[in-house]
């Protein structure tokens, strides 16, 4: 969100115009928050559920918002916490079900002979590799790589020091690079940033 939008929201809340502020947040942040939930590893239905729960929480908490962070940072934190909770629920459900066997190597072999670059397939592989990360690294990678947020804002969202975030991001990039090299070695170097966070 722009600084002007942030100031507008502050004014609306100061004037107790919470419904207008809420509609502004929903209109402005629904799409990026939906993408955040998807990139965290949720499917469409679960991402929609996360957004619904997050925006209910935002509606209830909006009158109590103290402005200690930006509105966008506050919303990112709520949505990311809801997404992490949904992922934990999924993980608990998987413990009670028989896991499907997946062979990403087999899919990579069938694509290896393709004479062209398939961006959709490459992005799917990147998301697959990201989904194998621990929760915290997955969130940090998502916010830094896809959403291009500065470490200072990610620190406000996650409650983690910038140094810890840089370490998390570095480890996430290394793990994703290693996974991608197993699946499709020629694409891993082009997709990911250099070793410096």
Q: Following DSSP, what letter does each residue of 135-194 receive, concatenated?
A: HHHHHHHIIIIIS---HHHHHHHHT--HHHHHHHHHHHHHHHHHHHHHH-HHHHHHHS--
pTM metric for this prediction: 0.69
CATH code at position 42: 1.10.1740.10
Residues 81 and 130 reside in one and the same domain:
no
What integer pLDDT is reported at residue 103 of this predicted model?
43
Q: Is residue 139 part of a domain?
A: yes
Residues 125 and 142 reside in one and the same domain:
yes
Q: Pick the last residue of a domain from 78, 95, 112.
A: 95
For the chain, 197 residues long, give each residue's pLDDT as a single digit of tens. Answer: 899 999 999 999 999 999 999 999 999 999 999 999 988 888 899 999 999 999 999 999 999 998 889 999 999 999 999 998 988 888 777 665 544 444 444 444 444 444 455 667 777 888 888 888 898 899 999 899 988 899 999 999 988 899 999 999 999 999 988 888 887 666 555 667 665 55
Residues 7 and 79 reside in one and the same domain:
yes
* Residue labelled with tokens 């500065």: 150
What integer pLDDT is reported at residue 32 of this predicted model?
94
Q: Report how far residue 36's alpha carbon sits from residue 86's, in angstroms, rounded to the nearest whole number.
A: 13
Q: Pick the last residue of a domain from 58, 78, 95.
A: 95
Q: Pick the last residue of a domain from 45, 65, 95.
A: 95
What integer pLDDT is reported at residue 44 of this predicted model?
92
Judged by DSSP in three states, 1 sits in coil
DSSP state of 68: S
What integer pLDDT is reported at residue 118 of this predicted model?
63
């Amino acid at each position: 969100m722009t600084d002007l939008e942030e100031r507008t929201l502050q004014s609306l809340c100061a004037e107790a115009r919470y419904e207008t502020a809420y509609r502004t947040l929903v209109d402005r942040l629904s799409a990026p928050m939906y993408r955040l939930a998807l990139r965290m590893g949720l499917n469409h239905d679960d991402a929609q559920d996360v957004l619904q729960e997050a925006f209910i929480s935002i509606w209830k908490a909006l009158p109590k918002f103290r402005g200690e962070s930006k509105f966008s940072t506050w919303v990112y934190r709520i949505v990311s916490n809801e997404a992490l909770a949904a992922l934990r629920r999924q993980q608990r459900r998987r413990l009670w079900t028989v896991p499907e066997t997946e062979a990403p190597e087999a899919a990579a072999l069938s694509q290896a002979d393709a004479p062209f670059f398939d961006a959709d397939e490459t992005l799917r592989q990147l998301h697959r590799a990201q989904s194998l990360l621990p929760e915290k690294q997955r969130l940090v990678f998502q916010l830094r790589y896809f959403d291009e947020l500065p470490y200072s804002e990610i620190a406000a969202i996650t409650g983690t020091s910038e140094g810890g975030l840089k370490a998390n991001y570095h480890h996430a990039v290394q793990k994703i690079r290693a996974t991608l090299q197993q699946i499709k070695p020629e694409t891993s170097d082009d997709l990911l940033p250099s070793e410096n966070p």
